[in-house]
Structure 1
Amino acid sequence: MSDLTDPVTVGGLTLPNRLYRAPVLECAGNGDGAVDTLADELEPTAASGVGLVFQGASIVTAEGGCAAPNMTRVHDPAFVERLERLTDAIHAHEGKIFLQLAHGGLRSMATWHAGYRERHPEERQLAVSRPPWQLRALDRLGLVSLDPAVLSTEEVYDLAAQFGRCAGYAVDAGYDGIHLSAANMSLIQQFLSPFYNHRTDEFADGVRFLEAIHDAVRDHAGDVPLVTKVPAETVAPSFVRRHLTLSDGIDVAERLAAIGYDALVPVEVSTFWDMSIVRGAFPDRAWAASDLQDDYAAAFGGPVRARVVELLNRLQARRFDHEPGWNADFCRRVRERVDVPVLLEGGLRTRAACDAYLGAGGGKPAADMVGMARPFYAEPRLGARLLDGHDALCASCNNCTIPQVTGEPGRCRTPSVVRAQARLSKEGAYEGNDRET
């Protein structure tokens, strides 16, 4: 039995507690201010006592692969070297930071972002196989734009090696571990998913791609802790017949633990980029924001198409109600089958739920660590209050998420939450567990 304040070990790295900041979009880009943006975003989390910080999905290639505007690329060792200032800042608070490596594949901006396609007309999406007929139908209707470049066997190996090289750059810059983005319709999920993967070579078994990445990371970054998400496509629409079942996801998790992954993050996802990623209320305030209407139109190809996306967003919000710890059953079942730490995220907002899923009340633990993502947009120093026994302010309203399709940074846009955070800050509520330099 453990609670949030107990230490835990991941891949030989001891963490002071079982709370982590889950990876989210930082929208820092690669410009002159990128390191400052990341430090402003992540250092307060480490200072507030959070045991582990995951820097959000960072793209391993020089072109393509970004699922949203202003994502950071880590293909250039000269840029990654500059991130040592960030890792030093985290370490000054006795914190630990892992870099999440990613590629969007068919989820890349060239598929869905109209303005991006206009600026990059020659860009193609890396694809595991020929896209599923459902996406091809959306392409014919003009709702997305597909120009896939199906990876050859040699190119798959080259891409796995690129993940490894980026991991090496990260370790040289002081990162304490590597996290792979293998869910939320990323390219790695597309390798694992029978909905996307119709290959006939060795990578028809999508786990082989994760094995190749594992080997490349070990070649370039040594025995650094290596974590990956593990998807189960349990919330795929009913018309998707071939997808990763919960049983499939558990089998994948077992195989990854045997390969040598040091921790696993089981998540129940869809085969599409939809509200299953950010369950909760429909973000009406964000969609109605007058200062973002032109940006939405540019992203989605005009105001009419933006309204269509808004309608689809509203319908999906009804399907994916907020449920604290929605990945808990999957995590618990994986934890029964593997001997590496299992990390739980998805809808956690209260200290009581965190402790319960860790087994503090005598129940069957679902995980060895628990994480939150969007609540840190509202409270960058949330760790201090959570570790002191309080709950997050985040109302799962999702008003922070939709603006990110325009490149807006992640921040809370709900006035009542912003006011509450300001009041608590004035009262000194975020200073209780601070780890100062």
Structure 2
Amino acid sequence: MSSRLEDPVDIGGLTVPNRLYRAPLLECAGNGPDAVDTLIAELEPTAESGVGLIFQGATIVRGEGGCAAPGMTRVHDDEFVAELSALTDAVHDHGGRIAIQLEHGGLRSMETWHAEYREANPGLEQLAVSRLPWQLRALDRSGFLSYDPHVLSTAEVYDLAADFGAAAERAVNAGYDMVHLAGANMGIVQQFLSPFYNRRDDEFGGSHRERVRFLEVVHDEIRERAGDIPLVTKVPAETAAPALVRRHLSLGDGVRIAELLCEIGYDAVVPVQGSVVWDMSIVRGEFPERAWSDERFQTGYDAAFGGRFRKRLVAALNRLQSRRYGFEPGWNADFCRRVRDRVDVPVLAEGGIRGREQIDRLLGDACDAVGVGRPFYAEPRLGARLLDEPPARTVCESCNNCTVPQVTGAPGVCRTPSVLAARGRLEKAGAYDREE
């Protein structure tokens, strides 16, 4: 019998009340005095709408460096993380479950690409898995990016894994139900897994098994410090790698990595296709014309990219990428299906999922639970419609106007008038109301 969205699902001994989850998104809450309130304001409406599992967006395991975008929350401080119990309580009050996604950006961090941040933090090291591949050295010589990486020693890799374990322990103490590792989107975990980045000759480099070793040590650290909390990770396939990149992860490589992670003891996997560099392969959709032309963000773009000329260059590249990576419904479905055929843990699918009919086709075929991301920026209470109004479809137009301003530290919210008008009509009709 096929699974229904309303059915519970078990992940590592935790029962999630239904198979709909909010995929990790940037909340841009930071660590200031209003951070917890900001997170509650963004995530509680989703729990109230009936979503069974909420993945809080990427949070950084160290107190310095590692942020891929401004405003990311850090979870290195015991006192701050303890305050997050107010967030977990708010989600639990609505019957939902909440996971924290742990991350370090490595070479994708702001200390690499954000001009103003680099200038303000000249002593901050860029952490690298190994010596830069020639393609990145060429970008450095051209001045498009600025690399001065510190290659992690074997002992430092263990130290980094311990930071993931310590962050997971704090999260458990604050009431989180699950730990999710940011194993894709070009963060440092993907950099360990990828043959493009990982040219190490110690126990953390070489074959698939050796490149997975970092995630094995992270697993062991979390188990030792945080017990049997369910542990989930994204699994990358670098199918969108540029033609000049020969060493990258194929779909078959991604399937093999997922198998190894299940042998290690991970409780669920999230297969995700992307590239070896930060581009539109992970968001897909229209060129965000409105976001790039919005006067409110021009100063922030200049600060991030290092001036007007570089800002225009980045925008032009963004336009070109949007033509290559147009919106594709459920773009990770085939990868998920291939992984699900080979593992005995739940497979979670996300990426371009926009309606109940699509969800019903995916469940039990390509995946065991379905994640929706950017549409929650437009409809924070989207769960009520997807769970109660089949065949509901999100109002999100995949225009990406919500994402580009985040490089300035702006929150991820929908700014597209036609989408906001559609949400307004639904609110008037009571589409987001539900009885608990």
| TM-score category, normalised to shorter length | over 0.9
Q: Distance in 2 between matches of 1:279 and 1:119?
A: 32
Q: 1:290 deviation in Å?
A: 1.2
Q: Which amino acid aligns with 2:63?
A: A
Q: Which amino acid aligns with 1:336?
A: D
Q: Which amino acid aligns with 1:164?
A: G
Q: Distance in 2 between matches of 1:133 and 1:4?
A: 46
In structure 1, the residue matched to 2:410 is 408
Task: Pick from 375, 392, 399 the counterpart of residue 401 of structure 2.
Answer: 399
Residue 353 of structure 2 is aligned to residue 348 of structure 1: yes
Structure 1 unmatched runs, 5+: 360-364
In structure 1, the residue matched to 2:247 is 242
In structure 2, the residue matched to 1:339 is 344
Q: Distance in 1 between matches of 2:155 and 2:287?
A: 43
Q: Distance in 2 between matches of 1:15 and 1:100?
A: 17
Q: Once the two structures are aligned, what percentage of the paired residues are identical?
A: 68
In structure 2, the residue matched to 1:371 is 371
Q: 1:354 deviation in Å?
A: 0.5
Q: Aligned runs of 1:245-394 on 2, under 5 Å?
A: 245-359=250-364, 365-388=365-388, 389=390, 390-394=392-396
Q: Distance in 2 between matches of 1:422 and 1:40?
A: 19
Q: Aligned runs of 1:129-278 on 2, under 5 Å?
A: 129-204=130-205, 205-278=210-283
Question: For each residue in 1:54-100, what CA deviation from the matched residue of structure 2 results, as whole angstroms up to 9, or x when unmatched?
Answer: 00000001100000001000011111000000000000001100000
Q: Distance in 1 between matches of 2:334 and 2:425?
A: 36
Question: For each residue in 1:28-67, what CA deviation from the matched residue of structure 2 results, as whole angstroms up to 9, or x when unmatched?
Answer: 0000000000000100000000010000000001100000
Residue 41 of structure 2 is aligned to residue 40 of structure 1: yes
Q: 1:161 deviation in Å?
A: 0.8
Q: 1:147 deviation in Å?
A: 1.3
Question: For each residue in 1:311-366, what CA deviation from the matched residue of structure 2 results, as whole angstroms up to 9, or x when unmatched?
Answer: 0000000000111110000000000000000000000001000010014xxxxx00
Q: Distance in 1 between matches of 2:79 and 2:428?
A: 40
Q: 1:136 deviation in Å?
A: 1.1
Q: Which amino acid aligns with 1:225?
A: P
Q: Distance in 2 between matches of 1:3 and 1:289?
A: 42
Q: 1:256 deviation in Å?
A: 0.2
- Where in structure 1 do 4 or more consecutive aligned residues deviate above 6 Å? none
Q: Distance in 1 between matches of 2:46 and 2:52?
A: 9
Q: Distance in 1 between matches of 2:268 and 2:82?
A: 26
Q: 1:141 deviation in Å?
A: 1.1
Q: 1:426 deviation in Å?
A: 2.1
Q: 1:282 deviation in Å?
A: 0.5
Question: For each residue in 1:274-302, what CA deviation from the matched residue of structure 2 results, as whole angstroms up to 9, or x when unmatched?
Answer: 00111000000100101111111111000
Q: Distance in 2 between matches of 1:385 and 1:131?
A: 47
Q: Distance in 2 between matches of 1:34 and 1:143?
A: 33
Question: For each residue in 1:402-429, what CA deviation from the matched residue of structure 2 results, as whole angstroms up to 9, or x when unmatched?
Answer: 0000000000010011111122112211
In structure 2, the residue matched to 1:126 is 127
Q: Distance in 1 between matches of 2:4 and 2:144?
A: 47
In structure 2, the residue matched to 1:17 is 18
Q: Distance in 2 between matches of 1:422 and 1:215?
A: 47
Q: Which amino acid aligns with 1:406?
A: T
Q: Distance in 2 between matches of 1:128 and 1:42?
A: 33
SS across alignment from 1:202: coil
Q: Distance in 2 between matches of 1:399 and 1:51?
A: 27
In structure 2, the residue matched to 1:67 is 68
Q: Distance in 2 between matches of 1:423 and 1:171?
A: 40
Question: For each residue in 1:97-124, what CA deviation from the matched residue of structure 2 results, as whole angstroms up to 9, or x when unmatched?
Answer: 0000000000000111001011111111
Structure 2 unmatched runs, 5+: none
Q: Distance in 2 between matches of 1:398 and 1:242?
A: 29
SS across alignment from 1:203: coil
CA RMSD of aligned residues (A): 0.7
In structure 2, the residue matched to 1:362 is none
The total of aligned residue pairs comes to 429
Question: For each residue in 1:13-40, what CA deviation from the matched residue of structure 2 results, as whole angstroms up to 9, or x when unmatched?
Answer: 1111110000011100000000000000
Q: Distance in 2 between matches of 1:293 and 1:431?
A: 38
Q: Distance in 1 between matches of 2:379 and 2:78?
A: 32
Q: Distance in 2 between matches of 1:16 and 1:426?
A: 28
Q: Which amino acid aligns with 1:353?
A: Q
Q: Distance in 1 between matches of 2:227 and 2:148?
A: 37
Q: Distance in 2 between matches of 1:72 and 1:233?
A: 27
Question: For each residue in 1:191-218, what CA deviation from the matched residue of structure 2 results, as whole angstroms up to 9, or x when unmatched?
Answer: 0000000000000022000000000000
